[in-house]
Structure 1
Amino acid sequence: MLALPFGVTPVTAWVEVDEYELRARFGPWSLRTPRENVASTQETGGFGFVKTAGPAHLSLADRGVTFATNPDRGVCVLFHESVRAIDPTGRIRHPGATFTVADPTALIAALEER
């Protein structure tokens, strides 16, 4: 696993959704936002090696953040208000995040359930 040197392990890489919040951790990086901040979700995939190898990734095109461990399937989440994740100071805020999770369909269902 190429993310291991960055502290990304099965214990430190997860996404949780409860009735109030979306929380995600990817090694030392984390994201937390109220569920009502989720504007939309979409299954995505076919990521290139560069996007999934190593640490969390910042998109220079749209400032989105990616927490990815595999190139196959993930969930792109767009927010009403940009969130903190990759920068601990909060100067860089993300309008969206992509998570590669074991069950993208379940994550989408949990986020879209009102």
Structure 2
Amino acid sequence: MAAHRSAFRFDPPFRLPLALLGVRPETSWVTVDDEAVEIRFGPWRLRTTRGNVTGAEISGPYRWWRAIGPHLSLADGGVTFGSSTATGVCIRLAAGVPALVPGPWLRHPAVTVTVTDPDALLGVLRAPPVG
């Protein structure tokens, strides 16, 4: 399959604060291909194999203080890369991966992203990899 790239949805009130963190539309996206899922959210990055994805679901809407920017969930240790309070996609992982801090110490079992077309990303993540 050709790589599918999803852009983040940026709600207007949060554009400037996120830009101050280096999170802008040109520095933020989700790419999925047959081998990997890669997320860039300004200076933050998450990469995992497609085989590590165990599920995905649409979630939201969110409260702005829980969704905007990079966030660690105290409930499950998941990470949120949020630029909108609208819906997003929660991607569950078999093995946790680092994203918020450098190094192997903090690993996240899930990641939520607020992309412009959650249904399209969900469809790509649920489709079996080719090959």
TM-score, normalising length: structure 1: 0.95
Partner of 2:31: 16
Q: Does residue 27 of structure 1 match 2:42? A: yes
Q: Does residue 110 of structure 1 match 2:124? A: yes
| Secondary structure at 1:3 match in 2 | helix
Partner of 2:103: 89
User: What displacement does 1:84 show?
Assistant: 1.0
Query: What letter corresponds to residue 46 of structure 2 in structure 1?
Result: L
- Cα distance in 1, alignment partners of residues 81 and 125 from structure 2: 17
Cα RMSD, aligned residues only: 0.9
Query: What letter corresponds to residue 34 of structure 1 in structure 2?
Result: T
Per-residue CA shift, 1:57-102, capped at 9, x if unaligned? Answer: 1111111000110001100011011111111112100000000001
Identity of aligned residues (%): 42
Structure 1 residue ranges, 4+ long, deviating more than 3 angstroms after superposition: none
Partner of 1:39: 54
Query: What letter corresponds to residue 39 of structure 2 in structure 1?
Result: A
Query: What letter corresponds to residue 56 of structure 2 in structure 1?
Result: T
User: Which ranges of structure 2 fall in alignment gaps of 5 or more residues?
Assistant: 1-14
Q: Does residue 52 of structure 1 match 2:90? A: no
- Cα distance in 1, alignment partners of residues 47 and 113 from structure 2: 13
| Secondary structure at 2:23 match in 1 | coil
Query: What letter corresponds to residue 69 of structure 1 in structure 2?
Result: S
Query: What letter corresponds to residue 104 of structure 2 in structure 1?
Result: G
TM-score, normalising length: structure 2: 0.83
User: What displacement does 1:52 show?
Assistant: 2.9
- Cα distance in 1, alignment partners of residues 78 and 53 from structure 2: 14
